[in-house]
């Protein structure tokens, strides 16, 4: 007399092999056709600070400024980018301190026009991505200078 679970050993083996192949396929990262300069990992978007071989990536955020009738979207976008860059710069400066809460103080100082020996790091930083998000915008900045050196 056959038992129910012994009735089709080939089906069980084939079924297991299909599951194994599917699991293997899903665990292998897919190759994407993007250029190296436009490629950002998901981690770079999820975290405010992300260390890479090229430097440190920092996400800065700002609110899209109100516009007048004579102001174009491009003007508002440029102002939002500038504010988001300033926010990212303040995060970079906050990393130079022992207490991260000082990032807010740095942000206020930068809004008032503060400059220092670290200004070169900001001038050399590159914007990797602009991300519009309704009433706000974000930028991903790459800083070659290490904040731990300051």
Q: pLDDT digit string (tens) for 100-112?
A: 678 888 898 999 9
* Predicted structure pTM score: 0.66
Query: CA 42, CA 127: separation in Å to the nearest integer?
Result: 17
pLDDT in tens, 83-139: 999 999 999 998 888 876 788 888 989 999 999 899 999 999 999 999 998 889 999
Find all residues with CB under 8 Å of 128, minimum gap 6, and list them.
40, 44, 57, 139, 140, 141, 142
Q: Confidence band (pLDDT; 50, 70, 90) for 20?
A: very low
> What's the confidence (pLDDT) of residue 45?
57
Phi then psi for residue 98, to 5 deg, are: -75, -30
User: Hey, where are the domains in the chain?
Assistant: 44-143
Query: CA 127, CA 57: separation in Å to the nearest integer?
Result: 9
pLDDT at 43 over 60: no
Block residue for tokens 């519009």: 132
**DSSP three-state, residue 82:** helix
């Amino acid at each position: 007399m056959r038992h129910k679970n012994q009735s089709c050993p080939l089906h069980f083996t084939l079924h297991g092999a299909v599951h194994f192949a599917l699991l293997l396929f899903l665990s292998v990262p897919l190759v994407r056709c993007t250029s190296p300069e436009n490629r950002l990992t998901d981690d770079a978007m999820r975290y405010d600070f992300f260390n890479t071989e090229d430097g440190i990536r920092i996400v800065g955020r700002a609110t899209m400024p109100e516009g007048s009738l004579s102001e174009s979207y491009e003007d508002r976008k440029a102002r939002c980018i500038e504010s988001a860059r300033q926010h990212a710069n303040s995060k970079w400066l906050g990393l130079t301190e022992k207490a991260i809460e000082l990032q807010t103080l740095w942000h206020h100082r930068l809004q008032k026009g503060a400059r220092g020996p670290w200004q070169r790091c900001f001038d050399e930083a590159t914007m990797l991505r602009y991300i519009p998000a309704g009433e706000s915008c974000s930028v991903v900045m790459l800083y070659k200078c290490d904040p731990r050196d300051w």
